[in-house]
Structure 1
Amino acid sequence: MTTLHLEHASHAHAHGPDCGHTEVRHGDHVDYAHDGHLHREHSGHWDECEPAGHVSHEGHDHRHGPDCGHESVLHGDHVDYLHDGHRHAPHDGHWDDH
């Protein structure tokens, strides 16, 4: 999985541990959930942190939902669930690993 480099133009807000937005651990960095987007600091600006391609989370029998116990994060037109260092999103009867 690769990350597209999509700069979030005109993003004056500085994310950090006390900024009030949900932190999402993502590999070697932290994304911040903000207005349905995930932002990542990169070379003095903020990127939209989105995966390229479709990555199915195989063997994931757990069903996420409002009462599953995992934190939910609004992500565009759907909700991701934070689970074991991954963001899971429903897709065609399975869970994608974002």
Structure 2
Amino acid sequence: MTTLHVEHPAHRHAHGPDCGHIEVPHEDHVDYAHDGHLHREHGGHWDECEQDDHVAHEGHEHRHGADCGHQSVLHGDHVDYLHDGHRHAAHEGHWDDH
């Protein structure tokens, strides 16, 4: 899975455990959900976390929704669901693994 490196140059807010935004564990770092974006600290600045490839979560039978018990995170034009250290998003009849 590859993530694009897109700097968020006007991001002055410093995310952290007490900043009030949802923490999203992601591989070796933490993303923060902020105004429909996912931000991560990188080299003294904040990046927009956008995956540049499509990865279907094979065998994911669980259906996410308002009452599924997993935290939802607004991400651009859709909602991701935090599930077992992954972000899942509905896509063309299956769940993508972000």
Shared fold by TM > 0.5? Answer: yes
2:3: which partner in 1? 3
Q: Does 1:91 align with 2:91?
A: yes
Aligned to 1:17, what secondary structure does the other structure show?
coil
RMSD after superposition: 0.4
What pairs with 1:54-65 in structure 2 (closer than 5 Å)? 54-65=54-65
For 2:82, the aligned partner's letter is L
1:76: which partner in 2? 76
Distance 1:40 1:49 in 2: 7
Distance 2:3 2:91 in 1: 19
Share of identical aligned residues, percent?
83
Large movers: runs of 4+ above 6 Å: none
What pairs with 1:28-47 in structure 2 (closer than 5 Å)? 28-47=28-47
With normalisation by structure 1, the TM-score equals: 0.99
Q: May I ask how many residue pairs the two structures share in their alignment?
A: 98
Distance 2:10 2:28 in 1: 25
Q: Does 1:23 align with 2:47?
A: no
1:50 Cα deviation after fit: 1.1
Which runs of 5 or more residues in structure 2 are unaligned? none
With normalisation by structure 2, the TM-score equals: 0.99
Aligned to 2:95, what secondary structure does the other structure show?
strand
Which runs of 5 or more residues in structure 1 are unaligned? none
Aligned to 1:4, what secondary structure does the other structure show?
strand
